[in-house]
Structure 1
Amino acid sequence: MKLGVAFGKLLSGESVIRDFLTIGVDDNVREKVYLRTDDQLLDVTRNQWLLGLDPRIIGIWSEQPIPTSGSYTLYFRDDPASSPDTVGHHALGILKLDYVDRLVENNGNLFLFRVQSSTIHHIDGLRARLLYRKFYKKPGVDFQRLKAVAAAYTYPRRVRIISFQLEGNYNYIFPMDLLADIKTSGRYLLGMRHSNQVLKKIMDIRKIVVAEAPARYKPLIYSLGRNHSAAPPPLNELPFATLPTRNFGFQVPEWVESYKEITIDKTLDLGSHMLLCGQWKEDVLLKPATPRLHHIHFLHFLYLKHKGLNYPIIP
């Protein structure tokens, strides 16, 4: 056994150390997320998203007022808090946040926060730091970044299929997990890297389709990760059939379960990522929902494994 593999196995019990684990889960996610401000505690479990990475930007949708000054702390837990006073007890990830901006909508607000500092408790601190130094440390990834991402991915982040089309039959189909589906307002948010070669094309067209896909199609979904390039493969070279969406006529894999056609109407620069904000009017259902592909951080996987609480792993 190679030295690096042996060291990783000693620290984690796993032969392969990675950033994320892929799991299959439906809407019944066990983890809970709470936002504490100076004078209130909100359950934001289904209304919080990671939208940018450098800096780390958290979006929180709320139909209740949230002050735009003061202190903000986000708690990631593997179970509900028994009381507001104990929300921080046994929290796996804690993010201290700074207010950045607010997007006002008719029936609520999207609040944007920058991660100021982070704390994690998935495994003991010494093992976490040793894993970082051996396996995660690289240019642009300091220990604070690792902790913030590990905290954010304590909550499973769903992978969805993005599709848009250019004239000349250029069909772009690729996966993303930095996005948000705000069902109560019909809004969609996508955090897309400035380095992504298709970002400007999407901003020019201002139309995009987001589709839900079964977790069992992970190999095909991951193979689509190469389709951010300027010249995607022709449809007849894809390893699956496609079908056109109802209004835009964009192509989506024939195995997706549903899709939303989104018109982009706002953009906001978040640093490394551009936030695309859009509106959808119809959720087109094609097949019954099954467990979808989600990402959790490797450190959270280690915590779940230790507790015997693992989600189904998608190999």
Structure 2
Amino acid sequence: MANDDRLMVLDSASMYFRAFFGVPEVTAADGTPVNAVRGFLDFISRLVGDYRPTHLVCAWDNDWRPRWRVDLIPSYKSHRVVVARPGPQPDIEEVPDPLEVQVPIIVEVLAAAGLCVVGADGYEADDVIGTVATGAAMPVDVVTGDRDLFQLVDDAEGVRVLYIARGVGNHERVTDHVVVEKYRVLPSQYADFATMRGDASDGLPGVPGIGEKTASSLLLKFGDLKGIVAAAADADSEMSPGPRRRILDAADYLEVAPTVVAVARDIDLTPYDARLPAEPADPARLDELAERYNLSSPVSRLLATLAG
């Protein structure tokens, strides 16, 4: 890799959901809604223009609710399920109809533009991001609105998160220092911290009675979740009675939850070329899509950014 190589990895669903809810309604000539498509493309243009990565990966949710995670914690994302399907097929997620019709358009536009989309069957985009970032061999910016990916932050490896919860235009650069300042834990401890705290938006109950303050205090004293569980089981340890009882009562949850919360970093990915193109892979197809779906302005901005 060249010394100036830099990778940007996009949590694609996180971004197009934000585009859908944040960009005013726009339609194509045939009435198809396209606000999420336009917003997503403009997000890419803005981020690439601001940070000038040499490589870009749009991480994709081939399976937004992997069966292996559900088998460990059945409540995992269960409140988002519209249709539960047995076997290896992913459950169907609740997505607003006007957004659902736009996702295939986003895929088509990205392909015609020559931007790299990477997914893996049986895994979420988070796992793709974890694997891509861990093996990048160059500095990495992870773009997401999901705090779970703070566990990937690593100043020594050049991995930071561009956190877009307050909007792409008002994102926060999350480094080791930011994680420590906000949560009083190291990024390497963040997955254990999140396991104990829980996350209602993902159907993770956490340890009842253990909030962020107690979770960070336990990690500061005992290092990691294994150390905390061991200290709870040791009557002679320095753990106070309240947290000890709560940790012991949650033993079954704590046995499986770390596997659910931890982002996979070593999944097999189909070989991909993440280098940003200077020109589209299929100009004619891109022009056709831009004309059909009222995307001329965002596509023009994207191409200008890529050429720039």
Task: Give the TM-score normalised by structure 2.
Answer: 0.28
Structure that is richer in helix per residue: 2
Which has the larger Rg?
Answer: 2
